[in-house]
Each structure stands twice: as structure tokens, then as C-alpha cells.
Structure 1
Amino acid sequence: MDHLSTFAGGAPWFVGWGTLALINAALAQGKNRSGLLWFLLSLLAGPLATLLLVLLPKVRSKMF
């Protein structure tokens, strides 16, 4: 088995995981949380990060 066929077989998995991380970043920003932090966390935890984001309440914005 060569390296190209190994990469090609795993490419959809990487694309899906990366797309989920982008969706989680947008979801986090919608809840007034750090999109970058949740993007990075999602790269590591994937669907578990999505579950946490769904369950966590929206952070109240601070009035200055």
C-alpha cells in the first residue's frame, strides 16, 4: 500500500472533522464564546466538543 492511497482513503474523514470544527467555532461565537478556542478544541475532541457547546448556556455579554 502506498502513501497516496492511504491519504486518499482518509481524506473525507479529515474534511468532515475540519468542517465540524468550523461549525463549532461559529456555534461558539453565537454563544459569545471564543471561536478560535473552540475550533482548536474541536480539532481534538470533535463531536464531544459539539455536545459540550450545545449543552453550555450562552455567555451574557458584559455592558461597559
Structure 2
Amino acid sequence: MEHASSGGFAVGWFTLALINAGLAQSKGRGGLNWWLLSLLLGPIATLLIVVMEPLGRGPSVPQ
């Protein structure tokens, strides 16, 4: 029975990595790099993606 639960854990971890890759791409970052990083760091990578500012946008200055 232990084997079945570890398979579910792996599927969840892989799914989280895919979600992180999409999140990273939406913020202008490399999806493949973040997917690989997410495989190693999991939820910590999610936190990093969420708190980091999107790329390509400078500070907003009223005109």
C-alpha cells in the first residue's frame, strides 16, 4: 500500500511543477527553468514565483 501513496505524491509534485511553469511564464519568466526548479523545490518555488515581480515592467510613474 505504501507504493500507491508515493505514486500519488509524485503525480502531485509533477502537477505542481507544471502549474509553477505556467505561473512563471505569465510573469515573463522561463517556464522550463521554473519547471525544473519546481521539481527540486516544490512549494518553495511556488512561493518565490508569487512574491517576485513580473519581468518587463518598470516602476509605474504617473504622467
The question of a shared fold, defined as TM-score above 0.5 by the shorter chain, is answered with: yes
Q: Identity of aligned pairs, percent?
A: 54
Task: From 45, 53, 57, give the equivalent of 2:53.
Answer: 57
Name the TM-score, length of structure 1 as normaliser. 0.83
- The residue correspondences of 1:1-64 to structure 2 (distance < 5 A) are 5-60=1-56
Q: How many residues of Structure 1 are paired with residues of Structure 2 in the alignment? A: 57
Q: CA deviation at 1:6?
A: 4.1
Q: CA deviation at 1:8?
A: 1.8
Q: CA deviation at 1:9?
A: 2.4
Q: Which runs of 5+ in 2 are unaligned?
A: 58-63
